[in-house]
Amino acid sequence: MKVYISATLRSFFDRNGEIQIEKNTIKEILDTLTSEYPEAKKGLYDENGEIRDFIRIFVNNEDRTDKKYHRDLLDERSDVLFLPVIAGGAPEESIISDDRRKAIKLDEQEIDRFNKHLLLREIGVKGQKRIKAARVVVVGAGALGSPVIQYLAAAGVGTIKVVDFDSVEIGNLQSQVIHGTRDVKRPKAASARDTIRNINRNIEVIAENIRIDADNVGSVIDGFDLVIDCTDNYKARYLLSDACTLLGIPLIFGAIYQYEGQVSVLGYKGGPCLRCLYPAPPPAGLVPTCAEGGAISPLPGIIGSIQANEALKLIIGIGEHLTGKLLTIDSLGLRTNILNIKRNEKCPVCGNDPSITSFIDFDYEEFCGLKEDENEIPVEGLTPDELASRIESGEPITIIDVREPHERAIRKFPNAVAIPIGQLARRQKELNPEIDTVFICKEGKRSILAINTLREAGYKGAIYNLKGGFDAMKDIIFSNEGGGL
C-alpha cells in the first residue's frame, strides 16, 4: 500500500513523500518505516515511545492515530497518510441573525457592486445583507491573510479587523500580495487597511499593530462573528483556538508549508477544536516552520481563498463546510483529501470535562516549548557580530550548519560543515571537543534543538548557538567584501 509523508516530516524519510510498503497493519508500517529510516523514530515518537501529539495517522481519510487501530488488518489498496500540524456538514443557519440582517440596507451603488452575488439564488439580497452585517477578525496580514482580507473586502464584509505586529519586508512580497514595494518597512496592519479602503471605502476597517497574547486576545476577538487564523506560529494558533472555543466564536484554521496546505472550521456548533485535531504542537525546532521551509507563492492564495470561501458560507448560511473535516492540499502532486476529524471527549478545552477554562491562566510559552526548562542547561549564544569577530581574528572554531539542503543551496555559510540534526549523535566524533562549535540554522531555533540533541548524545565540548541564525548574519557575511568571511 502507499504511505504518504507530509512535507514537514520528509526530512526524517530522506525527503521521500510517497513510500510503497507491503505490510498489513499500521504497527507493521511504523516498524518498517523506523527500521528503514532510523531518523524517523525521533520525528514520529516521543520520549515515552508514543506517537507524538502533533502527528495524525489517516487511513483512507479516517483518523487511525489511536493505538487501538494499529493491529487492524488493512486492505492492500489502502492509502496511509502521516500528517503533522502545520499550524463537514451543512450549517442550519447563518451566523448572522435575522434581526441584524434586517437592519442592513443596500444602496444603489452596492447593488451594482455586488450584482454577481445578488444573481446567485443561494446568496441574493438577504445573503449580501448578512455579509455587510458581518464582523470578522483576521489574525495575520501575511501570506494567508493577503487573499483572505482582499476577498472579504471585495465580497463586502461590513467590518474587518486586521491584527498583525510585523512590518513589511522585501522578502514578503513574493507571496504577501496585499502589500507592495512602497509598503516595505510599514506595519502590515496599516498596509492591509489601506488596501481594504482602496477596494471598498464603505467597509469599517480596524487595524491593530499588536502581537496576540493571552492578555489581549479576548479583547481582540470578543464581539466579532468569526475569526480567521492566518498566523505562522504554534503559540498563536493554539491560543486563538482556545480563545475562540471558550468564547463561542467559530475559527477558520489555515496553514501552509512548501507545497502543502490545510484548512478546517474549528469550534463551531460542537465541532472539534485544534487540540482535538493535534493535542500538542511539535517540540520547538523539531520540524521547520513555513518561514524556514518556504512556500510556493500561489499556495497561500489557494489556501487563503478557501478560508475566505468558508467564511462567506458561514456568514450567509449556505453549502457544506469544513466543521469536523480537514481539507489537505498537495499542490505539487495535485492531491487533495477531506479527512474526517472528531471532537475529543477528553479534550482539555472542548471535552466533556474540560480542564482549561481560561486562556488567560494557561502558559502557552511552556506548552509550545518556548520556555526554558529550569533543569535544562541554558544554551549559550553568540551574536552575529561576535561570531564575525571570532572568524576575522582567525580563532579556531567549527561551524555546523543544520539547515535543509535547499536552504544551503540558496546561500552557503562559508567554511561551515553541513550535518542534519538527525545525524548529529552518530557523527559527533567529527567534532573536536577542544575547539568551540557554533550551530547555525535559518532563524536560530532548530540550532537550539541540535545543541540539545548533541548534549543528550554525551558530547562534552563547548557549543554555541548563533542568535537569530543565518538570517541575522547574512548581511554581515555578504557585505564584508575581502574581510575574511
What span, in angstroms and rounded, lies between the C-alpha atoms of 149 and 165?
16
Catalytic residue numbers, as ranges? 290, 441
Sign of the CA dihedral 30, 88, 311, 121? positive
Enumerate the H helices of 248-367 as residue ranges: 274-277, 290-293, 298-316, 364-367
Query: Cell 481560561 sits at which residue?
Result: 358
106-134 residues labelled b (16+ CB within 10 A) or e (exposed): eeeebeebbeebbeeeebeebbbbbbbbb
What span, in angstroms and rounded, lies between the C-alpha atoms of 399 and 383?
14
Would you state the cell numbers that stand for residue 469, as one nine-digit string? 541564525
What span, in angstroms and rounded, lies between the C-alpha atoms of 472 and 290?
17
Enumerate the H helices of 177-327 as residue ranges: 188-199, 217-221, 234-247, 274-277, 290-293, 298-316
**Coil, helix or strand at residue 19:** strand
Are 217 and 273 contacting, i.e. CB atoms less than 8 angstroms apart?
A: no
What span, in angstroms and rounded, lies between the C-alpha atoms of 217 and 361?
12
